[in-house]
Amino acid sequence: MSASRRRRATSSWCCCSFRFQVFFAGILATFIYLKVPGHRFYRSVYFLPVVLSPIIIGAIFNIILAANGPLNGALSVIRIPTVDWLGLPETALPTVLVVHIWATFGMAFTIFLAGFATLDAELLDAAKIDGANLWQQIVHVIIPSLSQTIQFVFVTTTIGMLTGLFALLYTMTAGGPGAASYLPEFLIWKLNGEARPALASAASVFLLAIVLVIGLIQIRVLRRATKEA
């Protein structure tokens, strides 16, 4: 795969990952707020990975996802082709991103729950009385009421995706195979380790600019979307 195609694939995977993380956390928080059976248990389970160190999580998943690890062992038992999850350029970065989502979505989930604490329950009750189904309640009541929370979660999740993956990348792939799982933070560390501090500083400033631009764009787009909703 060429460098340009690899960069496009990396950007695509990152964008899809943080969108899925926000959507998944929002849906789960909605179910917990509506008090699905076992909601107290789920609340603690979802947040548990957040308190674990990324180094510990990376070490655990290194064992689970190894070519001869438990996951591939289970797949071989049910006659599904095994995959070298961390050893192939096509799967290394997506695998790390999936682990990152599992490890960090509990924080977004908690922020959504805090936002639900400010939600006017009378609006939901009125929507139910008017015959609104669950989807209509989410679209016309919950999303507009939680617009500020959604904006905050989108921005913090994007920043975390761009700047919070170093420990997992270092532990699980070390940027490899080759440079297949390089992300900005890891690249900055690599440049600094190669005694190129000027390039590392320039990359750091560029990363900061990207985070600011993406954050501002997301806030504007989400604000417009919630007004239309």
Question: What length is written for the chain?
Answer: 229
Detail the DSSP E strand segments found in the chain: none
pLDDT in the model for residue 226: 59
Q: Is the pTM higher than 0.85? A: no
CA atoms within 13 A on the CB side of 196: 11
pLDDT in the model for residue 2: 52
Rounded CA-CA distance 29/46 in Å is 10
The least confident of 6-15, 27-36, 81-90, 177-186 is 6-15
Structural domain boundaries enclosing 161: 3-228
Is the distance from CB of 17 to CB of 97 less than 8 angstroms?
A: yes
CB neighbours of residue 220 within 10 Å? 11
Q: Rg for the chain (alpha carbons), in Å? A: 20
Quote the number of domains for the chain: 1
Is the distance from CB of 96 to CB of 173 less than 8 angstroms?
A: yes
CATH number assigned to the domain comprising residue 123: 1.10.3720.10
Percent of the chain with pLDDT over 70: 90
The predicted-structure confidence for 184-224, as pLDDT tens digits, reads as follows: 888 888 888 888 888 888 888 988 888 888 778 877 776 77
* Tokens read off for 13: 């995977």
